[in-house]
A and B are shown apart, each in its own frame.
Chain A
Amino acid sequence: MDNEQNTKGAQEPAKPKADVCPTKRGKLELSEVRDMLTEKKGPQYWRTLDELSQTPEFEEMLHREFPRQASEWEGGGTSRRDFLKVMSASLALAALSACVKQPLEPIVPYVRQPEEITLGKPLFFATAFPMPMGAVPVLVESHEGRPTKIEGNPQHPATLGGTDVFTQASILTLYDPDRSQTITYLGDARPWGQFLNAIRGPLNAQKAAGGGGLRLLTGAVTSPTLAAQIRDFQKLYPQAKWHVWEPVAHGNARAASQARFGQPIDTQYNFEKAEVVVTLDGDFLSSGFLGFHRNARQFAARRRPELKEAMLRMYAVESTPTNTGGKADHRLPVRASEVESIARALAAQVGVGGASVNLQGEQAKFVAAAAKDLQSKRGRCVVVPGEHQSVAVHMLAHSMNQALGAVGQTVIYTDPIEAAPVDYTASLKEIVGDMNAGKVDILIMVGVNPVYDAPVDLNFQQAMDKVPLRVHQGMYQDETSRLSHWHINGTHYLEQWGDARAFDGTASIIQPLIAPLYSGRSDHELLAMMNGQSDASGYDLVRKYWQTQHTGLDFESWWRRSLHDGLIEGTTSAPKTIAAKGTAIPAAPQSSGSMEIMFRRDHTIYDGRFAQNAWLQETPKPMTQLTWDNAVLLSIATGKKLDIKTEDLVELEYQGRKVKGAVWLTPGHPDNAATVYLGYGRDNSGRVASGLGFNAYKLRRSDAPWFDRGLKLTKTGETYELACTQGHQNMEGRALVRAATLEEFIKNPGFAHEMVEAPAPGLTMYAAYQYKDHKWGMTIDMNSCIGCKTCVVACQSENNIPVVGKTEVKRGRHMHWLRIDTYHEGTAENPKSYFQPVPCMQCENAPCEVVCPVGATVHSAEGLNDMVYNRCVGTRYCSNNCPYKVRRFNFLLFTAPVWDSPQLSMLQNPDVTVRSRGVMEKCNYCVQRITHARISAEEDNNRKIPDGEVLTACQQACPADAIVFGDMNDPNSRVSKMKAMQRNFGLLEELNTRPRTTYMAVVRNPNPELEPQQKREEHASLAVADAGKGV
Chain B
Amino acid sequence: MTEAPVYGIMAEFDNPTDLLHATEATYAAGYRKIDAYSPYPIEELSDAVGFHKTRIPLIVLCGAILGGLSGFALQYWISAISYPLNIGGRPYNSWPAFIIVTFEMTILFGGISAVVGMLGLNGLPQPYHPVFNNPRFTSASRDRFFLCIEASDPKFEIDRVQQFMQGFNALDVTEVTH
Contacts and interface: CB of A to CB of B under 8 A. Distances in A.
Interface of A: 766, 768-769, 843-850, 855, 858-859, 994
Contacts of A845: 88-89
A839 to B, nearest CB: 18
Interface in B96-117: none
A844 B88 CA distance: 6
A859 B91 contact: no
Contacts of A846: 88-89
Contacts of B86: 769, 858-859
A378 B85 CA distance: 61
Contacts of B88: 843, 845-850, 859
B89 to A, nearest CB: 4
A858 B90 contact: no
B101 to A, nearest CB: 12
What are the 6 closest A-B residue pairs judged by CB atoms, nearest first? A859-B86, A849-B88, A850-B88, A846-B88, A845-B89, A858-B85
Interface residues of B, number: 7
Contacts of B87: 849-850, 855, 858-859
8 contacts: A768-B89, A769-B86, A769-B89, A850-B87, A858-B87, A859-B85, A859-B87, A994-B89
Contacts of B89: 766, 768-769, 844-846, 859, 994
Contacts of B90: 766, 850
Given A769-B86, A846-B89, A859-B86, 5 more contacts: A766-B89, A769-B89, A848-B88, A849-B87, A850-B90
Interface string B65-85: 000000000000000000001
Nearest to B86: A859
A248 B64 CA distance: 78
Contacts of A847: 88
Interface string B151-171: 000000000000000000000
A861 to B, nearest CB: 8
A766 B91 contact: yes
A447 to B, nearest CB: 53
Nearest to A845: B89
Contacts of A843: 88
A845 B86 CA distance: 10
A858 B87 CA distance: 5
Contacts of A768: 89
A768 B85 CA distance: 14
A994 B90 CA distance: 13
A572 to B, nearest CB: 51
A845 B91 CA distance: 11
Nearest to A852: B87
A758 to B, nearest CB: 16
A855 B85 contact: yes
Nearest to A843: B88
B78 to A, nearest CB: 10
B156 to A, nearest CB: 63
B33 to A, nearest CB: 56
Nearest to A765: B91
A372 B89 CA distance: 55
A847 B88 CA distance: 6
A847 B89 CA distance: 9
> Which of B85, B87, B88, B90 counts the most A-chain CB atoms under 10 A from its CB?
B88
Nearest to A768: B89
Contacts of A766: 89-91
A149 B87 CA distance: 33
A865 to B, nearest CB: 9
A850 B97 CA distance: 10
A236 B86 CA distance: 73
A846 B90 CA distance: 9
A766 B91 CA distance: 7
Nearest to A855: B85
Nearest to B78: A855
A776 to B, nearest CB: 14
Contacts of B85: 855, 858-859
Contacts of A849: 87-88
A855 B88 CA distance: 11
Nearest to A767: B91
A864 to B, nearest CB: 10
B87 to A, nearest CB: 5
A978 to B, nearest CB: 23
B91 to A, nearest CB: 5
Nearest to A863: B86
Contacts of A855: 85, 87
B90 to A, nearest CB: 6
Nearest to A769: B86
A22 to B, nearest CB: 47
Nearest to B79: A855
A502 B88 CA distance: 47
Nearest to A846: B88
Contacts of A769: 86, 89
A850 B86 CA distance: 10
A768 B86 CA distance: 10
Nearest to A881: B88
A849 B89 CA distance: 9
B52 to A, nearest CB: 49
Nearest to B91: A766
A770 to B, nearest CB: 10
A850 B66 CA distance: 28
> Which of B86, B87, B89, B90 counts the most A-chain CB atoms under 10 A from its CB?
B89
A826 to B, nearest CB: 38
A632 B91 CA distance: 55
A583 B90 CA distance: 72
Contacts of A844: 89
A856 to B, nearest CB: 11
A29 B139 CA distance: 74
Contacts of A859: 85-89
